[in-house]
Structure 1
């Protein structure tokens, strides 16, 4: 049973996070002694604030996630709660314990987050491909309406015409990514990608390295944070994941996976998705998927580029969202011609 708490947690300070976590624990773990509680503040996210709390066993900790400022404008929090419950039932997500006014509390996923160094290691990447194939087979959501371009346009519509902060506005103008320019790129990208007629499946849509948990003992990869979970074009999840090999704090696109690595990854993924041996994956189908994924990598750059500019306007988190957004949009511009010309 999920507890619905009339509670606002102060995510602006560690003291506020701990106080809120204590209050939530009183409701969902009343047998835990307050004086024995231990806490860990996680800092991987750039949208929300996250704290873990446990009593005796750190692997039995409860996570409390406080939504970022104004994120309710572009994230459907009721849908996120539904996603967690659906995915938990399918064995793809920890249980949801409670919702509160500005966040969620859910179970801990044992393991460590992947990094730019570990995500290409055996057997981690194979486990990620296997877990994504499992997720994509979940029969949920509206397959007639993939989320990619409606959500991208929602971000775009929420962007201010001009930033009040003059330094931010100057950086955007100097980059050339005005709203008129972005509108043109989104329209062209949508026309190009929807013409591919790619399959649509239930997707995570945000498999950055900090959202991939590797459990070495179980040799298992798990995904966390389903706030963008919805039906989407199947190659998008893979493309978005490959883009994240570059990292977030220090973005380096030389880490984007090579064609050989991508094909090995896709062969593994398709074998698990289709329930066949890796040797049975058709070479022509593999080439089609390679083309699809790289084309959709362009959409990932624009999606998160526009998202980052929106975050720059609303977020209170100490992160250079303008710089990150420009970096993503620059990589889109760098690769657009090459990937638009790829043929199956």
Structure 2
């Protein structure tokens, strides 16, 4: 197949006369618009872009429109070349056009590009959890992962993070009034975290495939008539780890807020992964991927979620310094860094079996009315199938109080947990064997901490001086996203509920 033709037009769309510039660009590139006047052309700004600004340009008087019009004109964000490899983007854009993976690519001008409009509806982040849409998106991702592109086959993830991290100020933020807020992002520490994470995720041996790398909802167009999903905006497209692509897409379920109550459940993730594997494994309609393959990819995705948060955390810092788009990039970056820290700590505690108390797994809102120190009968709801770890405080007359922890899972490393408690709370403690309830941890002193009008059991860890409260269900000790395990994280500058 011949290489997709494109043209370079040396023209700059000026900020103080955008509409006129867009009309000139449309007339130059689109034969059907050559005779259209400024009044004939309708210009609509499209929602969703936080790197560039997108405009739909259409001449509604044209009947029997060819499939490639109307057109979308993208104006590059200020200094966006610092975060985007425009040469690589051009290769991807033309090759995607040639392989039927994107819209017709018309060409470039000095501060943007123009391409055909893909018919269909751009998704909202709430749409991503729809099971039918999940299947369409999973299938299209699998198709992307199967193609060959004439670009470097090395995964782009870590080099991109290093590039963006090098642009992030280590000490003083350029804008004085935002400097104090910026310091809470702890850039130096995040750079070190990225180095360690690169080594850790390498052990997963995630396949290197061609990825879109930015599958947020507005970059996905669903054509209901054709029952097909298409992707747009290939600025970050490159070879990368399969786990990163899927993890990054799952993180986008939360939207720009982000609202991680919308993060896909394990059931939703496994449905998506199953649909993806059906294509990559070339299974027949009657065949299903093995449970082992689904579980392996499920774990891979959720661990690569850490890399996704670091990726967009550093991206946000660079954008905050350069972009002229009205968007709070630092707040967005802070949200990703907080989520990175929370998930990192979750994995640490999961892998070292440091589980302290268990409350019935409910929504985050319901936790507000739960007291972990209450008697079972006062907690409410059906507790017949729920096991609790009990934390009790005994106040002895004239002596220090004693905190006891009972009914931990039998396979816990009790000595490690006791050692951690003694070091964390600077207290003495011991293990006591009880015939009825098994091993009991006893700690000298009352180690409850009041938090949000309820008593929780704080676990201190030296990472970023966070104080963590963890609420985990015995029935759900699989690695998954931390906010599905109801994390509450608090430090001087950070609050997550």
Q: TM-score range, shorter-chain basis? A: over 0.9
Match of 2:80 among 61, 71, 76: 71
Return the structure number with greater relative CO, CA threshold 8 A, min gap 6: 1
Alignment of 1:266 onto 2:273: yes
Per-residue deviation, residues 51-74 of structure 1 (Å, max 9, x unmatched): 111113687211110111111112
Contact 2:173–2:182, Cα closer than 8 Å, also in 1:
no
Counterpart of 2:30 in structure 1 is 29
Helix, strand or coil for the counterpart of 1:329? helix
Per-residue CA deviations over 1:31-81 (Å, capped at 9, x if unaligned) read: 421131111111310110111111136872111101111111121111111
Q: In the aligned structure 2, how far is the partner of 1:274 from the partner of 1:321? A: 39
Structure 1 residue runs of 4+, over 6 Å off? none
Partner SS, residue 126 of structure 2 = coil
**Structure 1 or 2: more helix by fraction:** 1
1:84 is the counterpart of 2:93: yes
TM-aligned CA deviation for residue 179 of structure 1:
2.5
* Alpha-carbon separation, structure 1, partners of 2:153 and 2:99: 22
Alignment length (residue pairs): 338
Kindly provide the CA deviation profile for residues 183-234 of structure 1, in whole angstroms up to 9, marking residues without a partner as x.
Answer: 1111111111112111100100000111111111211111100001110001
Matched, 1:169 2:173: no
SS in 2 for 1:221: strand
Which region of structure 1 is more displaced relative to structure 2, 59-68 or 234-243? 59-68
Q: What SS class does the counterpart of residue 156 from structure 1 fall into?
A: helix
**Is 2:56 aligned against 1:49?**
no
Alignment gaps of 5+ in structure 2:
352-477, 480-497
Indicate whether 1:275 and 2:287 are aligned. no
1:6 and 1:154 map into 2 onto residues whose CA distance is 29
Q: Alignment partner of 2:77: what SS?
A: coil
In the superposition, the TM-score normalised over structure 1's length comes to 0.93
**CA separation in 2, counterparts of 1:142 and 1:48?**
23
Higher strand share: 2
**Corresponding position: 1:224 with 2:232:** yes
Secondary structure, counterpart of 2:214 in structure 1: coil
Aligned twin of 2:11: 7
CA deviation string 1:77-121 (max 9, x = no partner): 111111011112221111110201111100101111111221111
Match of 2:132 among 100, 113, 123: 123
1:200–1:234 contact (8 Å) kept in structure 2: yes
Aligned-partner SS, 1:118: helix
TM-score by length of 2: 0.65
**Kept after mapping to 1: 8 A contact 2:79/2:323:** yes
Give the secondary structure class of the aligned counterpart of 1:201.
strand
SS of the equivalent of 1:82 reads helix
